[in-house]
Amino acid sequence: MELLNISPVPILPRTMWVAYRALQATPGLTRRELEDAVCPPTMREETPGKGAHTERAVDALVKFGLVDIDEGTEGDGRTLSAPGHASLQSFTRNLRDCVLGAAVTEEPMPQDLNRAVVWLLSQSPLDAYDRLRADKELGGFFVNDTRWNTFRYWATFLGLGREWPLEGGGLAVDPTPAVEDAIVNPKGSEVVTGTSIEARQLVRHVQAEIPAFVQVDTNQADSAPTSMAYAFRALQASGRLKFENRSDSRSLVRLPAGAGAADDALFTHVTIEVGNL
């Protein structure tokens, strides 16, 4: 499955969320009823692909197992339901796990989105990218504005990037929301909060929760990727993480220089301040 493919229209995560919320509000809708609730027939002629964006969003919800299908009925009469009472944060987390490979689903991880995310996470938070610059670095990957803009929607929705606020605009890497969520609401093993743990343990935990980080080449085994280091520094500045360097420890993690720091920093331990998360 490709998420950035624009034929006939791209799959957009915010449309998926709207469809999911509609199903939460009114469980037991058929697929057609859900599509009509999200994009009423009277509006369909004015939308891209005449409502195709809604159809693709529902396709993705079903394929990634984010909605349940009543198998007791057949054909167009089958009804859908949204399990639980997911908030936008938990929906985003579940979607991020599905598309980046942290969750086990029947639908293969979308390789186009994963490739673009790995590229983004390897960039400096001080750089903002437009389509032409990104396309040059990825060798013709972002062949048109629609494909690039679709990736921008996904990157910002998943908490991995942000729109550049200064003149010229563009997309910049900022995985702080995703990294914080990976610490607070892990898919796998939890990390100990309120007490000091090895900084290396935190890096490996985030890599396990957001597998795209594993593919980012840092050139040093115990060096956090620059974008992850940026997120750690942001969480440190807000009081959520507390780093320390113990002279009697051999377990060093390097946070490379970049946004928020002029020089490299070495840490051995970190405390997750649970009361501030």
Alpha-carbon distance 203 to 252, whole Å? Answer: 11
pLDDT at 40: 93
Q: What percent of the chain is modeled with pLDDT above 90?
A: 56
Across 77-94, average pLDDT? 89
Looking up tokens 């935190």 gives 202
pLDDT at 157: 97
Alpha-carbon distance 65 to 63, whole Å? Answer: 5
CB atoms within 10 A of CB 274: 13
Across 241-266, average pLDDT? 85
* pLDDT level of residue 80 (50, 70, 90 thresholds): very high
Cα–Cα nearest to 172, from 135, 207, 122 = 122
pLDDT at 187: 84
Identify the CATH number of the domain defined by range 111-173: 1.10.10
> Among the residues of the chain, which ranges form H helices?
13-25, 31-38, 41-44, 52-63, 88-100, 111-121, 131-137, 145-157, 176-184, 199-209, 226-237
| Residue 143 vs residue 35, higher pLDDT | 35
Domain 111-173 in the same topology as domain 13-87:
yes
Question: pLDDT per residue over 3-30, tens digit each?
Answer: 887 777 888 999 999 999 999 999 999 9
- Of the candidate CATH numbers 1.10.10.10, 3.40.1710.10, 3.90.580.10, 3.40.630.30, the domain formed by 13-87 belongs to 1.10.10.10
Tokens of 142: 């972002």
Alpha-carbon distance 21 to 38, whole Å? Answer: 9
* pLDDT level of residue 193 (50, 70, 90 thresholds): confident
Return the domain boundaries, the chain. 13-87, 111-173, 177-276
Q: Has residue 195 got a pLDDT over 90?
A: no
Record the pTM. Answer: 0.91
